Structure 1
């Protein structure tokens, strides 16, 4: 497999981890105050976790 495909897989795993993490505070270190404004992303991922039957609380 080419190197770019391994990098893409690693990036997708990081995105999957971010979406499946139970804490909405995960985006705070990355976005700062904008994380509260972008809380809809956490709520969208929260519903997605329930859809995928991933326990989150």
Structure 2
């Protein structure tokens, strides 16, 4: 006794036009995060070092020097 093959539906691909804005947004957000963790020393966001102190441990965890 043989069984008939059951067709498997092929998933619909997402068009690049729908992915591109989210990809650009993600890249920009990632670059901003990398800047703030890696090199923000108070020059862009005030001189009170709030951002520096907020990301201080993450900076050392990722290997960025800050002192």
TM-score range for the pair, normalised by the shorter chain length: 0.5 to 0.7
- In structure 2, stretches of 5+ residues that fail to align are 1-15
Aligned residue pairs, count? 49
Query: Highest Rg: 1 or 2?
Result: 2
Superposition RMSD in Å: 2.4
* Structure ranking higher on relative contact order (CA contacts 8 Å, 6+ apart): 1
Greater than 3 Å deviation, 4+ residue runs:
none
Question: By percentage of residues, which structure has more helix?
Answer: 1
Give the TM-score of the pair, scaled to structure 2.
0.51
